[in-house]
Amino acid sequence: MSFLRTRAKGHTATLLCTLLACVAIVLAGCGGTSVTSAASAQENYVVDVQLSGGSGRASVSSPCTVVKDGDSYVATLVWSSSSYDKMTIDGKDYVPTTTDPGSTFEIPIKLDCDMAIQAETTAMSEAHTIEYVLRFDSTTLVAASDAGNSSPDSDAAKSQAASTQVGDFHNTDIGCGWQPTGTVELAYATHFTIDAFEGGYKLICVSNGERFLMVPEGGEVPDGLSSDISAICLPANRTYLVSSSTMCLIDAIGAIDNIKMSATKAEDCSVAGFAQALQSGAMVYGGKYSAPDYERIASEGITLAIENNMINHNPDVKEKLISLGLTVLTEQSSLEGTVLGRLEWVKLYGVLFGSEDKAEQVFEAQRASIEAVAQKNASKDSSIKVAYFYINSNGAAVTRRSGDYVAQMVRLAGGTYALDDTQEGSGSTSSVALEMEQFFLLARDADVIIYSSSIDDSVHSIDDLVAKNNLLSQFKAVQSGNVWSTGTNIYQQMTSSAEVISELSQAIEGSDGQGFTQLTKLN
Residue 425 lies in a domain: yes
* Residues 369 and 244: beta-carbon distance below 8 Å: no
> How many angstroms separate the CA atoms of 242 and 473, rounded?
40
**Distance (Å, whole) CA 251 – CA 40:** 46
Q: What is the pLDDT of residue 15?
A: 42
The rounded distance, in Å, linking the Cα atoms of 177 and 403 is: 40
Question: Is there a domain that residue 361 lies in?
Answer: yes
400: which residues sit within 8 A by CB, 6+ positions away? Answer: 388, 406, 407, 419, 430, 431, 432
Stronger pLDDT, 323 or 373, i.e. the higher one: 323
Together in a domain, 418 and 508: yes
> What is the H or E stretch that residue 372 is in?
helix 356-377
Least confident of 107-116, 316-325, 343-352, 398-407: 398-407
Three-class SS of residue 512? coil
Average pLDDT, the chain: 84
Instruction: Provide DSSP, 246-268.
Output: GHHHHHHTT-GGGEEEESS-GGG
Q: Is the domain of 335 the same as that of 463?
A: no
pLDDT score recorded for residue 227: 93
172 shares its domain with 319: yes
Q: Are residues 361 and 431 in the same domain?
A: no
What distance in Å separates the CA atoms of residue 267 and residue 258, rounded to the nearest whole number? 21
**Residues constituting the chain:** 523
Considering the domain architecture, whether residues 230 and 352 belong to the same structural domain is answered as yes
Element (H, E) at 387: strand 385-391
| 173: Cβ contacts below 8 Å, ≥ 6 apart | 226
Give residue 36's pLDDT.
Answer: 34
Give me the mean pLDDT over the 21-37 stretch. Answer: 38
CB 304 within 8 A of CB 260: no
Q: What is the CATH number of the domain that holds 113?
A: 2.60.40.1850
Q: Is residue 434 part of a domain?
A: yes
Phi, psi of 520 (to 5 degrees): -125, 130
Q: At 78, is the pLDDT very low, low, confident or very high (cuts 50, 70, 90)?
A: confident
**Strand ranges (E), 152-283:** 182-183, 192-196, 202-206, 211-215, 229-233, 239-241, 259-262
Can you tell me the mean pLDDT for 499-509? 92
Residue 302 lies in a domain: yes
The mean pLDDT value for 496-500 works out to 91
pLDDT of 37 strictly over 50? no
Residue 490 CA from chain centroid, whole number: 14
Q: Domain containing 105: what range?
A: 39-143
| pLDDT for the residue numbered 464 | 97
Same domain as 420, residue 298: no
Residue 6 has a pLDDT of: 40
Residue 149 pLDDT > 80, yes or no? no
| Across 435-456, average pLDDT | 91
Task: State the total domains in the chain.
Answer: 3
Q: How do residues 89-135 score in pLDDT, each as one tens digit?
A: 999 999 888 776 678 899 999 999 999 999 988 765 567 888 899 99
Q: What pLDDT score does 145 carry?
A: 61
Would you put residue 149 in left (φ > 0), alpha (ψ -120 to 50) or beta?
Answer: alpha
Residue 12 domain-assigned? no
Domain final residue pick, 337, 367, 397:
367
pLDDT for the residue 337: 81
Kindly tell me if the per-residue pLDDT of 355 is higher than 50.
yes
Q: What is the pTM of this model?
A: 0.67
Whether 296 is in a domain gets the answer yes
Using the 3D structure, point to which of 110, 143, 176 is the last residue of a domain. 143
| Domain boundary pick from 314, 333, 367 | 367
**Close Cβ partners of 134 (under 8 Å, ≥ 6 residues apart):** 49, 50, 51, 60, 77, 109, 114, 115, 117
Q: Where residue 380 falls among pLDDT bands split at 50, 70, 90?
A: confident
Beta-bridge mates of residue 521: 484
Cα–Cα dist 87/75, whole Å: 13
Q: Indicate which CATH number applies to the domain containing 389.
A: 3.40.50.1980
Among 32-46, 125-139, 221-235, where is mean pLDDT lowest? 32-46
pLDDT at residue 204 in the model: 97
- Who has greater pLDDT, 512 or 13? 512
Residue 342: which region, alpha, beta or left (left: phi > 0; alpha: psi -120 to 50)? Answer: alpha
Residues 285 and 414 in one domain: no
Residues 180-192: tens digit of each pLDDT:
999 999 999 999 9
354 is a domain residue: yes
Task: Kindly state the average pLDDT of the residues 363-376.
Answer: 91
| pLDDT at 167 (0 to 100) | 52
Average pLDDT over residues 484-512: 88
The reply to whether 183 and 308 lie within a common domain is: yes
Identify whether residues 191 and 264 lie together within a single domain. yes
Given pLDDT bands bounded at 50, 70 and 90, which one contains residue 356? Answer: very high
Mean pLDDT of 211-239: 96
Residue 457 · residue 488 · CB < 8 Å: yes
322 and 192 both lie in a single domain = yes
Residue 278 pLDDT greater than 90, yes or no: yes
Same domain, 189 and 227: yes
Residue 468 and residue 393 in one domain: yes
Lowest mean pLDDT among 50-64, 67-81, 103-117, 268-282: 50-64
- Residue-level pLDDT at 431: 76
Q: DSSP letter at 84?
A: E
pLDDT at 124: 59
pLDDT in tens, 150-174: 333 333 333 333 333 445 789 999 9
**Residue 101 in domain:** yes
Q: Using CA atoms, how far apart are residues 445 and 29, in angstroms rounded to an integer?
A: 30
